[in-house]
Amino acid sequence: MKVSVSVLKEYDNLEVAIDKVNKSSANYLHIDVMDGIFVNNSKFPLDICEKAIKLSNKETDVHLMVNDVETIKEYAYLKPNRLTFHVEVIKNNEIIKYVKSLGIKVGLAINPETNINELMPYVNDIDLVLFMSVNPGLGGQKFINSVTDKIKLFKKLSPKELDISIDGGVNNETINSCREAGCNIVVAGSYVTNMDNYDDAIVNLT
Ligand code: DX5
Ligand code: ZN
């Protein structure tokens, strides 16, 4: 299992948190961008996201909770390794093709209440699906168990094998159902960043 660490809850303490991720065995740094419209919270404006990408020596995985395709393009210019935006926001595959043309891996995120049929038109164009196991907007929420059934069904129906990631409420207890559902990347925020030594948590997730 690969681990992507979200530093959302350490937003006011970013340099220290990213330094801890750099020194840990995490695979990716997960950056949660929120526009105050798609979700009721605003985090990681362009300049702070750019700074986080520069500070990271891990591959960066930027999760855009934004409502506007033009905003997706602005974050693509920062050239993260992976860029994930929400299936609820796009109307066709043009933005996916555009981001891929910049050499960036593309993920589509899907909210807990959104049907997996929404993903199907895009499966052949993307690299990853990010299943939200909380309603997006905040770190530290409780894992929604039913999401793992959705993942199993998606894996059964998908014509292509993709990276399968899950985001929200992942910890040493919920990791087993993530594994059993067939995820190969987990995003973990507060469970990791609440520890002094991030590897003390990451070791329970790999
Ligand atoms: C929620 C974010 C998550 C969040 C995860 O909107 O997308 O990445 O930071 O935090 P935890 O692991 O604390 O639920
Ligand atoms: Zn996220």
pLDDT score, position 59: 98
pTM for the predicted model, two decimal places = 0.98
Query: Residue written as tokens 């699906």?
Result: 129
The number of the ligand 1 atom at minimal distance from the alpha carbon of 193 is 13
Domain residue limits at 194: 2-202
Query: Residue written as tokens 């520890």?
Result: 195
Q: Which residues contact 200 (CB under 8 A, 6 or more apart)?
A: none
Our answer to whether residue 19 is catalytic in this structure is: no
Which DSSP letter does residue 64 get?
E
Reported as half-sphere exposure (CB side, CA atoms, 13 A), residue 41 has a value of: 15
pLDDT digits (tens, 9 = 90+) for 48-61: 999 999 999 999 99
Residue 36 maps to which CATH number? 3.20.20.70
Phi then psi dihedrals of residue 8, to 5 deg: -50, -45
Number of domain units in the chain = 1
What confidence tier does 187 reach under pLDDT thresholds 50, 70, 90?
Answer: very high
pLDDT score, position 65: 98
pLDDT score, position 86: 98
Our answer to whether residue 32 is catalytic in this structure is: yes
pLDDT digits (tens, 9 = 90+) for 67-89: 999 999 999 999 999 999 999 99
Pairing of strands 42-43, 28-35: antiparallel
Are 55 and 23 within 8 A, CB to CB? Answer: no
